[in-house]
Amino acid sequence: MGMKIALAGNPNCGKTTLFNALTGASQHVGNWPGVTVEKKEGKLRGHGDVIIQDLPGVYSLSPYTLEEVVTRDYLVTEQPDAILNIIDASNLERNLYLTTQLMELGLPVVIALNMMDVVRRQGGSIQSSALSQALGVPVIEISALKGEKCVEAALEAVRAAKSRQAAKPVTFGKDIEHALEQIGTQVSGHCQPSHNRWYAVKLFERDARTELPLGQMAKDTIEAYIKTVEDAQDDDAESIITNARYECAAKLAHAAGREGKAHKLTGSDKIDQIVTNRWLGFPIFVGIMFLVYYLSISTVGTMMTDWVNDVLFGEIIPPAVEGWLAAAATPEWLNGLVLDGIVAGVGSVLGFLPQMMVLFLCLAFLEDCGYMARIAFLMDRIFRRFGLSGKSFIPMLIGTGCGVPGIMASRTIENQRDRRMTVITTTFIPCSAKLPVIALIAGALFGGAWWVGPSAYFVGVAAIICSGIILKKTRLFVGDPAPFVMELPAYHWPSLKGVLRHMWERAVAFIKKAGTVIFLAVTLIWFLQTFNFRLEMVEQNESILASIGNVLAPIFAPLGWGDWRAAVAAISGLIAKENVVGTLGVLFGFAEVAEDGVEIWGTMQQVFTPVAAYSFLVFNLLCAPCFAAIGAVRRELGGKWTLIAVGYQCLLAYMVSLCIYQFGALLTGAASFGVGTVAAIIILVVFLYLLFRPQPKAEAKLRRAAVKA
């Protein structure tokens, strides 16, 4: 079995960046808690027998959050061979608080002092040798972002593991140490000798998660020692240890040097005075996200997508494939499968890859420079007014890449009600799989209109806020939002390598999906739209798929797209959202989906008016996510809540799309007043009532009870 080195540190200390540098892994690096919700592992490059374990970023080992539970359980139960503790040198004292806990685990510890360049830029200086002497463990200065001395730090941890020399815990005051020594004698024999100090401290703190098979006499003896210290210091035991740790951290930081002029505003602080301003922050956020989607869908991304669609999948690949098939004298059904099924379906999806890569590039830049963390801070101000927490927005930010990790990131939310609501609403934010749908509707049906892409993003945000307001007024979700405290990392220029790698990771994942799930889906779609139930090749309107689609089509007719092809495309999106575009590519019979191609508009306008097209877009944005995301919801919430989540998402998508089409068609003259309009009015009235109704008395009592608890 290989040697295991655990990476432990505070959020935003550069731990995951170091993990990527050591292992070459392609794990996402972000600036918010919850990026590493579960422990991740990889082999140290050049040392296949050394496993590097990336643990969630935590501020302490007191298990108040799920991240802290994961980290603590691994360190105490599974016991790595050594701990590589990454410390943000620009916040030395705060980071050393966790270090004092790690040194009590009876394991070898090595300190990796990161971000020393920030300390020097702030006019500070830290003597790593002095810190090493004070702690009694090796201290290595590194730059995780630049990859400097990262391997040296890992190899130092390997040497420490081989020596099996456990770190010596820091000492507290005499009365505390006396009590811990006596408690240690009581736990001796009930745990590993190396864990004696750890359990003594935890029992002193009355840690609810610490359990040992102690007799009642031993428990009474321990309680007596704790009570003696509490009476002497006139404080509770947990606070006594916490204060003692902070004192130790302050002394260690003082011994090591100074961090810089804390009173002086940094460049990052000055930027935050503008971008997190109460009045300017949200408009700036709206402007930035508008620019991101404008660049991705309407300008830079469109230029490259046009070439891919018109040239690569228009003039190069289809004729070449057709020529190969003709030379091989393949049967007609195989020609149809390859050209009308695979090339048309997969090609229609891959045609939007350039736009997706531009979006990934922009989002990677915003995440790595530190701005995305500010968005969560800004949204907390807005969310809190409606009974939500900014902590709920973090999974939604992560979900812009893929809904699955966004759903998993909800584990960082302690409040069960808020966590459930976050899981239910996270997938309203457009993920990368929905971008081809947005780009197709914007290009083919709105002539590349600049507003379609940004509006899709803010429809998702509005759905989250409105859902939160409505759901918070029900018994299932009532209660005050969880407190949201978050460190805002200093702004910095992201490394070009990191941003490009982040973009490439997502692009490769999308290509793999196109080559597997979407490939199989469009192949199935082609088969169903080519053959009838007697497995005879027939016209599309007489096929198996048409028979199924004609049953489903009336359900969606009030939404403006009652054509069976549109209904089938929407249903296929449950497998993977990209399938919506792939299915349309097969069913409408074009081998490429050019954004502004006249032939495309001429074909699709038979099914979609502009209002119906936007209704179709919104339905696919808000409806239940792909099977992978639904599976993630089930793992997080269980079967019952998965049904509730999927039901709510489908119902909301249907009602919003119905209102968009019915009111839009009425205003544009595309439809007259009818039953659908009446239904839309009723839905709107009920929605406004639920949105603005006062807090019901029963729920208000529950909320007050939750606050008292």
Annotated binding residues for Mg(2+), written as ranges, equal 20-21, 23-24
Query: Residues annotated as binding site for GTP?
Result: 9-16, 34-38, 54-57, 114-117
| 107-126: b (≥16 Cβ within 10 Å) or e | bbbbbbbbbbbbbeebebeb
Greatest CA separation found in the chain? 94
Report how far residue 132's alpha carbon sits from residue 85's, in angstroms, rounded to the nearest whole number. 13
Name the region of 493 (left: φ>0; alpha: ψ -120 to 50; beta: rest).
beta
Asked whether the beta carbons of 355 and 439 are under 8 A apart, the reply is yes
Terminal CA-to-CA distance of the chain, rounded, Å? Answer: 47
Full DSSP string of 428-483:
TS--GGGHHHHHHIIIIITTT-TTHHHHHHHHHHHHHHHHHHHHTTSTTT-SPPPP
Tell me how far the alpha carbon of residue 74 is from its chain's centroid.
22
Q: What are phi and psi of 277, to 5 degrees?
A: -60, 145
Report how far residue 586's alpha carbon sits from residue 112's, in angstroms, rounded to the nearest whole number. 54
Listed in sequence order, the DSSP H helices in 74-215 are 92-102, 116-121, 128-135, 150-163, 174-187, 196-204
| Single-letter amino acid code for the residue at 382 | I
Structure tokens given for 79: 């016991």
Query: What residues contact 450, with CB distance under 8 A and at least 6 apart?
Result: 294, 298
DSSP label at residue 493: P
Q: How far is CA 279 from CA 378, 380, 381, 388, in A?
A: 10, 14, 11, 20
Query: What residues contact 641, with CB distance under 8 A and at least 6 apart?
Result: 420, 423, 633
Query: Residues annotated as binding site?
Result: 9-16, 20-21, 23-24, 34-38, 54-57, 114-117
How many C-beta atoms surround the C-beta of residue 269 within 10 A? 12
What percentage of the chain's residues is helix, strand, coil (to nearest 5)? 65, 5, 30
